[in-house]
Structure 1
Amino acid sequence: MTELSVSATDADTAAAPTAPLLETKNLTRHFRIGRGFSPKMLHAVDDVSITVDRQEIVALAGESGSGKSTIARLLAGVYKPTGGEIYYQGRALSSMRSRRDQLAYRSDVPMVFQDPFSSLNPAFRVSHGILRSLKLHRPDLTRAQRSEEAERVVEAVGLTPSAEIMHRYPYELSGGQRQRIGFAQALAHKPKLILADEPVSMLDVSIRIGLLNLMAELRSSAGVSFLYITHDIASARYVADRLVIMYAGHIVESGPTEEVLANPKHPYTDLLLGAVPDPRAPLSLGVEGDTGEPPKVIDPTPGCRFRWRCPLVVDECHHTTPTLRRLGDGHNAACHVAQPALGTPPDQPSQR
């Protein structure tokens, strides 16, 4: 089991100038279920390899239970991997274990949580969390400089007047304002990558677009990358450069967002697209082709984990777990029956 830490020295960054900002290789996380002599293992994440480049927004999409939030917690250091490795700017996180290096990594890669109502402490004013983060992660600042920086990041996320907002308690803010404060706390670290775990799912539809626009603005103005975790394909299409689709702990498809949505290669991606409401279509009670059992992730057997619901299942799907293959320009899918686009070279395993 690896320990999450990272070196933040200039030498480390210079060692791999062309490395992705963040990369996972065969990242795995299993949870033990039950006690006694025959415990079972829940395979929350299995052999996941993804990359996030500098100033890039990558959307990680899938239904509830697919393993998206587990990946976010692995990257944030909440969980330790069962297997595989996480690399930050080309350095393995398991290679450095000092508290200083861990704080440096978590300063560069903070997390914005799903629930804006429980992520802020109701006993303190809004300024408390931001100032505390600044004191922990930027100890070089004086008290006056911390106050100035706190006001700056609050204004950067679109909340004005900043001094008045910071003086309020969380219950005095709307859900959208609270979530913006979550982004402000993350931005106070001067991050390179923000892990955004379903940041708009609990907000009204009318204010979600503002948070998505905020992510795009922070990418442009502050150079921040995002791993945007969502079950909403429409919001992923709006904001993300690349789309990664997860199902039952596996990545089943990845590629440029528009390419994946315009030309899906995996049946599960088709299913997700079919579930997106169309106001022009007549009312439907279900999604065509969505049949079969939910995914089996407790001691799963070899084979495609989507086979119980797949309309295109073949015999090989029951015996061999598919791996990601290149099926187009930067477009990969893990499916035995998926066909490559015209002009694509023969099947090649892919890590991206």
Structure 2
Amino acid sequence: MSPLLETIGLTRHFKVGTGLTRSVLHAVDDVDLAIGEREIVALVGESGSGKSTLARLVAQVHKPTRGEIRYQGQPLTAQRGRRAKLTYRGDVPMVFQDPFASLNPAYRVSHGILRGLKLHRPELSGAERQAEAERVVEAVGLTPAAEVLSRFPYELSGGQRQRIGFAQALAHRPKLILADEPVSMLDVSIRIGLLNVMADLRETEGVSILYITHDIAGARYLSDRIAVMYGGHVVETGPTEDVLAHPRHPYTELLLSAVPDPRAPLDVDAAAAKTDPPVVIDPTPSCRFRARCPLAVDRCHDVTPRLQPVAEGHTAACHVTAPPEGAQ
């Protein structure tokens, strides 16, 4: 079965500086990633690794420098006309990190949901839109729905506002929700509730989720598969339990070694706080993790490693632990 969405060599570069000092920042480089129907994929990495840029490429906020995004087997470049693009954005909505910034404080909660319904589902009558708004609010665990819809954003807690963000996405009848660190600004005590909401949406609504996170414990709790990003590259992918139990990239091992029990909360940024960031401005062909890697060899300084199979459904990009066929 073909994936619901896949990226092939997806790349995004940004020009930085001016004049003689102009350089190119490699935010995302040659990313191959697939998400199946009713699947939750966690994208893990420290700040600056390219996670959010990758999500924005999929959401069509940014245009790729090169590479391709395929949705339901068709390249997005084949989309023609406003209606086709609007349909895709309804199928693949994004839930942002800051729940308050994504809601207009001047309007009641119902405004954003009803507006989205009118835009993406114009066949619904006014009464049907109201009924659907109440349904999606109840689907994310907020009751009584009519009362919640009548409130202003400042009258809701952070966790409730983030649930409204998922309700807005759900109103479009999405196939894939892009959740960009949706729990990172919430208290630890209420994070698990939102993770359960995402798991329930997969079961009850049949949606897939790309879950972007710093927290390996949250990724383990929620996801079917995990992809680890470092310096704009995906360096390891596979079934979540397999990757966390048998990591094959030194960066994944570094993240897991920062805490004795990988089920305990781990902020990826904390694990990397005492080390230098990867070079992503005008980088040369090489492994971007080489300066921090205890296993680095000469080849790491000259050749960029590519993802190679290391087990069933498990890949890693490392010259040492996952050398390409024929390499010594």
TM interval, short-chain normalised: over 0.9
In structure 1, how many angstroms separate the alpha carbons of the residues matched to 2:153 and 2:271?
A: 43
In structure 2, how many angstroms separate the alpha carbons of the residues matched to 1:49 and 1:287?
A: 27
Uncovered stretches (5+) of structure 2, i.e. residues with no partner: none
Indicate the residue corresponding to 1:87 in structure 2. Answer: 70
Contact 2:9-2:68 at 8 Å conserved across structures:
yes
Q: What secondary structure sits across from 2:305 in the alignment?
A: coil
Contact 1:233-1:276 at 8 Å conserved across structures:
no
Indicate the residue corresponding to 2:39 in structure 1. Answer: 56
Which of 212, 217, 237 is the aligned partner of 2:220?
Answer: 237
The structural deviation recorded for 1:278 is 5.4
Which of 124, 146, 157 is the aligned partner of 1:163?
Answer: 146
Indicate the residue corresponding to 2:237 in structure 1. Answer: 254
Alignment of 1:279-294 (within 5 A): 293-294=276-277
In structure 1, how many angstroms separate the alpha carbons of the residues matched to 2:132 and 2:19?
A: 53
Indicate the residue corresponding to 1:335 in structure 2. Answer: 318
Indicate the residue corresponding to 1:183 in structure 2. Answer: 166
Which of 25, 34, 50 is the aligned partner of 2:17?
Answer: 34
Which of 108, 127, 143 is the aligned partner of 2:91?
Answer: 108
In structure 2, how many angstroms separate the alpha carbons of the residues matched to 1:292 and 1:58?
A: 27
Indicate the residue corresponding to 2:52 in structure 1. Answer: 69
TM-score (norm 2): 0.94
Quickly say closer, same or farther: Cα 1:291–1:169, change in 2 above 3 A. Answer: closer
Matched, 1:219 2:210: no
Q: What secondary structure sits across from 1:129 in the alignment?
A: helix
Amino acid at match of 1:74: L
Contact 1:25-1:50 at 8 Å conserved across structures:
yes
Equivalent pairs counted in the alignment come to 322
Indicate the residue corresponding to 1:275 in structure 2. Answer: 258
Indicate the residue corresponding to 1:145 in structure 2. Answer: 128
Amino acid at match of 2:154: Y
The structural deviation recorded for 1:97 is 2.9
Matched, 1:304 2:287: yes
In structure 2, how many angstroms separate the alpha carbons of the residues matched to 1:303 and 1:219?
A: 39
In structure 2, how many angstroms separate the alpha carbons of the residues matched to 1:287 and 1:94?
A: 39
* Alpha-carbon displacement from aligned partner over 1:291-334 (angstroms, at most 9, x marks no partner): 75320000001110000111111111001110000001111000
The structural deviation recorded for 1:347 is 3.9
* Alpha-carbon displacement from aligned partner over 1:39-90 (angstroms, at most 9, x marks no partner): 2000000000000000000000000000000011001111000000000000
Q: What secondary structure sits across from 1:43 in the alignment?
A: strand
RMSD: 2.1
Q: What secondary structure sits across from 2:99 in the alignment?
A: coil
Q: What secondary structure sits across from 2:291 in the alignment?
A: coil
The structural deviation recorded for 1:37 is 4.3
Contact 2:226-2:239 at 8 Å conserved across structures:
yes
* Alpha-carbon displacement from aligned partner over 1:97-140 (angstroms, at most 9, x marks no partner): 31110000001000000001211110000000000000000000
Detail structure 1 runs of 4+ shifted over 6 Å in the superposition.
286-291
In structure 2, how many angstroms separate the alpha carbons of the residues matched to 1:202 and 1:38?
A: 36
Q: What secondary structure sits across from 2:19 in the alignment?
A: coil
Contact 1:157-1:180 at 8 Å conserved across structures:
yes
Matched, 1:263 2:282: no
Identity %, equivalent residues: 70
Amino acid at match of 1:169: F
In structure 1, how many angstroms separate the alpha carbons of the residues matched to 2:102 and 2:310?
A: 41
Indicate the residue corresponding to 1:133 in structure 2. Answer: 116
In structure 1, how many angstroms separate the alpha carbons of the residues matched to 2:325 and 2:236?
A: 14
In structure 2, how many angstroms separate the alpha carbons of the residues matched to 1:144 and 1:209?
A: 34
Amino acid at match of 2:65: T
The structural deviation recorded for 1:289 is 10
The structural deviation recorded for 1:95 is 1.4
